[in-house]
């Protein structure tokens, strides 16, 4: 009987130790979750405080209206990019313009756009 009691006691001690380890793991995970939760709360508060700095028009604006305005700005930007590209093309064409001019003295001069 002593052997069986000893085995049962060892079994119980092993189970208690295992339960303590699991409890420690759970407490550690709980601490991690609480830290993460605090980080999220701080992030939310930071966003809330930055919203205070927004102009009242932006706060009152509808999200779809803001999206439309954003898309219009993107379209304007694309138009400006296209316009700048056309200007660059015109400049490169002007750089290619060269004329040879003959002077009355017989000398030839090349005139070109220098940019």
Phi and psi (nearest 5°) for 98? Answer: -140, 140
Query: How do residues 45-95 score in pLDDT, each as one tens digit?
Result: 888 777 777 667 666 667 788 788 888 888 888 888 888 999 999 888 888
Whole-structure pTM value? 0.39
Q: Read off the tokens for 34.
A: 């609480």
Q: Which residue has the tokens 């759970």?
A: 26
């Amino acid at each position: 009987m002593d052997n069986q009691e000893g085995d049962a006691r060892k079994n119980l001690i092993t189970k208690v130790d295992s339960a303590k380890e699991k409890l420690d793991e759970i407490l550690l995970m709980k601490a991690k979750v609480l830290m993460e939760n605090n980080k999220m709360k701080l992030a939310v508060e930071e966003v809330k405080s930055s919203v205070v700095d927004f102009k009242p028009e932006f706060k009152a604006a509808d999200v779809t209206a803001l999206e439309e305005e954003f898309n219009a700005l993107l379209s304007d930007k694309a138009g400006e990019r296209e316009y700048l590209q056309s200007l660059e093309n015109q400049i490169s064409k002007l750089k290619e313009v060269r004329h040879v001019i003959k002077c009355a003295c017989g000398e030839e001069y090349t005139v070109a756009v220098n940019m």
